[in-house]
Structure 1
């Protein structure tokens, strides 16, 4: 297409070819090419060349919520002054189907004007499916980690780094194959293998979000915190859990087991 356009311009300048069809067709190709390139760049910017994810940190001790916004701005708001609700995140006009998410509105002093809005990283086709996710957050902030830690099964390994290459594939599989009939799993594995390279491109073209020094200072975790659960405590091997073959895993139990081993090793020395 580039060669065609350059040839068209050269032929025009030399006066060799100026037929209406030639120029009409060529001009149309150039315009369509620019429009497609512009549209492709917009679509690419939705997932690529931005941030790997947009974390929201619930600071229970200080009763604040810290947000890393889509434009890279970091702000905080008091937990008790945020109005949480559900909203429509995706609408399918042809089928009249919707997807819903959980949103937090930071309000002005009049308690009516919305200053900022952020969303939690969960969506569902029915509002009722979001209630369990909201209850997890609410109970953590109101009752403490001991009230909800037992339901944690997996932590995305993205804190301060990009997700692993193979984790990206298994995470795609989890979104499609978790709970699916066993006979469909091989087909889904092959299907999502084709989407895997695009996820890798998006992940490695984006920057890693970093909290500000002020936020980090407010959220220091004590070395002996029994509820400091991270991706280190994820099930091994991960693929067995993703396929539903290892449902007995508990991150809290693994954390305690690892702590016991470390203490035993220290005592032996």
Structure 2
């Protein structure tokens, strides 16, 4: 009950490329945000049992001065293969260690909305069943209803003033993007740019799969 209801609509993570810092939201109030140095973060591919197989995600350990793990968090969603996690990781790594310009095609398009609307709950729940039969996708609608209920019992996360001050984005920043009102909506891309984005994602996934086959060990 208290993992999904009466908590927070989402738990955001901020990457500050200029200060080389990561901010991990845990709760509102004092001590609610983990402030982590990018160069001291320990990243790895996480693995969890799911149904009859496994899912993977990008995880990070926060280490104490003695090298002891004091907090662990995940970034982004779960994937079906380690290759997709590597693709996700490479985007973040290039962004933090270089600049958005170093990405072959900036995949920084926002397509998810954090607004707890009925439409967003349906999009996220049914979209998660894509690839299955339409009948199976319809069976997920009750979960969308419970997602909507739980989201509307939750509070919005609020960054402390000091974090907001450190993460001010210039109004003329060419990479500044608004959050869409509805999940699945693409803002600021014409048809040519959108086609280039999907082409980039296909090439990136193929490269990640090739890397996984050559170097990565399934665990």
Same fold (TM over 0.5): yes
Unaligned runs of 5+ in 1: 1-43, 254-269
1:45, 1:233 → 2: CA distance?
A: 27
- Over 3 Å counting, the alpha-carbon distance change for 1:77 and 1:154 in structure 2 is closer
1:50 CA drift (Å): 0.9
Unaligned runs of 5+ in 2: 198-219
Higher helix share: 1
1:215 CA drift (Å): 0.5
| Higher RCO (Cα < 8 Å, 6 or more apart) | 2
What are the residue-to-residue correspondences of 1:1-269 with 2, within 5 Å?
44-69=1-26, 73-88=32-47, 90-92=48-50, 95=52, 97-110=53-66, 112-148=67-103, 150-158=106-114, 162-177=115-130, 180=131, 184-185=133-134, 187-232=135-180, 238=185, 250=194
Please report the TM-score for the alignment, with normalisation by the length of structure 1.
0.62
2:28, 2:181 → 1: CA distance?
A: 31
1:247 CA drift (Å): 7.6
1:252, 1:84 → 2: CA distance?
A: 29
SS at match of 1:176: coil
SS at match of 2:49: strand
- Over 3 Å counting, the alpha-carbon distance change for 1:101 and 1:71 in structure 2 is farther
The root-mean-square deviation of aligned C-alpha atoms, in Å, is 3.1
Question: How many positions carry a matched residue from both structures?
Answer: 191
Q: Answer with 1 or 2: which has the greater Rg.
A: 1
Q: Any conservation in 2 of the 1:155–1:230 contact (CA below 8 Å)? A: no
Please report the TM-score for the alignment, with normalisation by the length of structure 2.
0.74
2:37, 2:101 → 1: CA distance?
A: 22
1:152, 1:69 → 2: CA distance?
A: 24
Q: Any conservation in 1 of the 2:129–2:137 contact (CA below 8 Å)? A: no
